[in-house]
């Protein structure tokens, strides 16, 4: 199904595809902090802010058109004397779930973070009720190093904990 899936640096032409994924992912209000009503402009400004390395996963459609099915970014989690620890965020198109795209992006991102010179990876805000994500991160070596009580206002579950996750690279 995923013949020709590639992961590559994002460019200006990917903005429509990335926004479509962000829009669908944040609509649920269950996995990311962004307000489900956030505009295209504010989300793309955030996703492409200057300090970030942005990537997409894409595949060829049956019409031989490239379709963006996932996106992630890497950046230093702190400036200056803390900039050896990488931070990242990942989103997969809801239509492409179950194909292992999240895992492929995660594995790629660890290699890429190493290549960029980072020596550790930290996630600041993994929603505790998002067990599929937590399990995926744990399977690539990320450990829960802290729990922020009630840090997330989950759309259906209400106040929900968020995890801080970390691994050396």
Pick 30 or 107: Cβ nearer a copy of itself: 30
Q: Please, what is the minimum distance in Å from the beta carbon of residue 133 to a copy of itself?
A: 15
Q: Give the 3-state DSSP-derived string for the chain, with helices as H, strands as E and coil as C.
A: CCCCCEEEECCHHHHHHHHHHHHHHHHCCCCCCCCCCCCHHHHHHHHCCCCCEEEEEEEECCCCCEEEEEEEEEEECCCHHHCCEEEEEEEECHHHCCCCHHHHHHHHHHHHHHHCCCCEEEEEEEECCCHHHHHHHHHCCCEEEEEEEEEEEECCCEEEEEEEEEEEC
Q: Please, what is the minimum distance in Å from the beta carbon of residue 83 to a copy of itself?
A: 8
Interface with a copy of itself, residue 164, by CB under 8 A: yes
Interface with a copy of itself, residue 169, by CB under 8 A: no
| CA–CA distance, 131 with 134 (Å, rounded to integer) | 5
Residue choice 19, 72, 90, 152 for contact with a copy of itself (CB under 8 A): 152
Interface with a copy of itself, residue 151, by CB under 8 A: yes
Interface with a copy of itself, residue 85, by CB under 8 A: yes
Interface with a copy of itself, residue 155, by CB under 8 A: yes
Q: Please, what is the minimum distance in Å from the beta carbon of residue 19 to a copy of itself?
A: 16
Interface with a copy of itself, residue 44, by CB under 8 A: no
Interface with a copy of itself, residue 120, by CB under 8 A: yes
Q: Please, what is the minimum distance in Å from the beta carbon of residue 58 to a copy of itself?
A: 27
């Amino acid at each position: 199904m995923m013949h020709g899936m590639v992961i590559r640096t994002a460019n200006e032409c990917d903005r429509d595809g990335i926004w479509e994924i962000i829009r669908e992912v944040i609509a649920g209000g269950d996995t990311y902090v962004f307000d489900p009503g956030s505009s295209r402009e504010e989300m793309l400004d955030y996703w492409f802010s200057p300090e970030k390395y942005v990537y997409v996963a894409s595949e060829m459609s049956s019409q031989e058109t490239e379709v963006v099915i996932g996106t992630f970014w890497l950046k230093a989690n702190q400036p200056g004397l803390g900039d050896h620890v990488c931070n990242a965020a990942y989103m997969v198109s809801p239509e492409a779930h179950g194909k292992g795209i999240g895992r492929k992006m995660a594995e790629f991102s660890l290699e890429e973070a190493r290549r960029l010179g980072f020596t550790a990876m930290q996630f600041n805000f993994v929603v505790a009720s998002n067990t599929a994500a937590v399990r995926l991160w744990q399977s690539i070596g990320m450990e829960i190093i802290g729990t922020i009580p009630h840090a997330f206002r989950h759309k259906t579950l209400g106040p929900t904990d968020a995890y801080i996750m970390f691994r050396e690279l």
